[in-house]
Amino acid sequence: MSEGPEILFDARDVTVRFGGLTAVDAVNATFRAGELVGIIGPNGAGKTTFFNAISGVTPTTSGQLMAGGHALTGKGPHRFAAHGLARTFQTPRVFADMSVTANIEFGLAFAGRRRTASWLLRDASSILALTGLTAQAALPASSITPSQQRLLEIGMALATRPRLLLLDEVAAGLTEAEVEAMAQLIRRMRDELDLTVVWIEHAVSTLLRHVERVIVLHQGRKIADGTPAEVVRNAEVIEAYLGDEMSEPQPATQGAAA
């Protein structure tokens, strides 16, 4: 019955309420093996709350969460991690007093032996090389730049050997050149590491150039789910953004855009 790549994660009618506020309103989303998916939406759209719900950080009010056919609704974040899900946060969460290498080693120890046979990044040095942090290996995490701390948190997530990587605004506060480098790294991780990547970002035009599918949230609801080309022409999306960022981005289609 399932056709196409394997479904890694399925969120069905996910709703999160805080008192009288519905932050996420019956959102459905399916993520398949090898996808690079972006999630966008205006401030307050419910993007991070949705991430928190599908990673076990925030309990859902209703709905179902399935990873590889395993029901995870109501389980803690460690159960989501055990089923191959890793994530970053808007503010990088690193162990400030530990060295950069020790931060990565913590993630490796957390993962244990899971996925070692097929996993390309077997040790801290290979993860540091991928994320461009080899020169900072011996430094305490507190002494590296904020953009390097973002890369370190990605490295820590990779160290847990995930199949599904959730990235929450990893380009926030970066320069234009750093944002582009981050986008290239995200594509490379997906391409080289057999990963599914789901990326929330405020840098909408950059995200649309690099992802293959976009989910748009607005006021807690999913209002669009399609290719970047489809989403930028969606009337409800244009209205949600007041036409702002939706007219300009040109999705990358392997070649030149006019």
Q: Give the pLDDT of the chain (258 residues) as one tens digit per residue.
A: 446 789 999 999 999 999 999 999 999 999 999 999 999 998 889 999 999 999 999 999 999 999 988 999 999 898 999 899 999 988 889 999 999 999 999 988 876 655 544 456 778 999 999 999 999 999 999 999 989 999 999 999 999 889 999 999 998 888 888 888 999 999 999 998 889 999 998 878 888 999 999 999 999 999 999 999 999 999 999 888 865 555 544 544 443 333
Q: Are residues 126 and 26 in the same domain?
A: no
Q: Are residues 127 and 181 in the same domain?
A: no
Q: Are residues 171 and 204 in the same domain?
A: yes
Q: What is the CATH number of the domain that holds 174?
A: 3.40.50.300
* Strand pairing category for 164-168 and 21-32: unpaired
Q: Are residues 187 and 146 in the same domain?
A: no
The tokens describing 12, both together, are 């069905």
Q: Are residues 208 and 235 in the same domain?
A: yes
Residue that terminates a domain, selected from 118, 133, 161:
161
Q: Are residues 22 and 7 in the same domain?
A: yes
pLDDT tens for 102-141 read: 999 998 887 665 554 445 677 899 999 999 999 999 999 9
Q: Are residues 2 and 55 in the same domain?
A: yes
Residue that terminates a domain, selected from 161, 181, 201:
161
Question: Please, which residues bridge with residue 22 across strands?
Answer: 17
Residue partners of 35: CB distance under 8 A and separation at least 6: 5, 196, 197, 198, 212, 213
Contact (Cβ atoms closer than 8 angstroms) between residue 87 and residue 167: yes
Closest CA to 141 of 97, 108, 174: 97
State the residue range of the domain holding 148. Answer: 93-161
Give the DSSP H/E element, type plus range, for residue 169.
none
Q: Are residues 5 and 99 in the same domain?
A: no
Q: Are residues 104 and 67 in the same domain?
A: no
Q: Are residues 185 and 69 in the same domain?
A: yes
Q: Are residues 137 and 209 in the same domain?
A: no
Residue that terminates a domain, selected from 110, 132, 161:
161
Q: How far apart are CA 197 and CA 167, in angstroms?
A: 7
In this prediction, what percent of the chain has a pLDDT beyond 70? 88
Contact (Cβ atoms closer than 8 angstroms) between residue 162 and residue 121: no
Hunting for tokens 């394997």 — which residue is that?
6
How many Cβ atoms are within 10 Å of 62's Cβ, its own excluded? 12
Report pLDDT for 3. 66
The tokens describing 193, both together, are 């590491």
Tally of domains within the chain: 2
pLDDT tens for 94-108 read: 999 999 999 999 988
The tokens describing 179, both together, are 């944002």
Q: Are residues 64 and 1 in the same domain?
A: yes
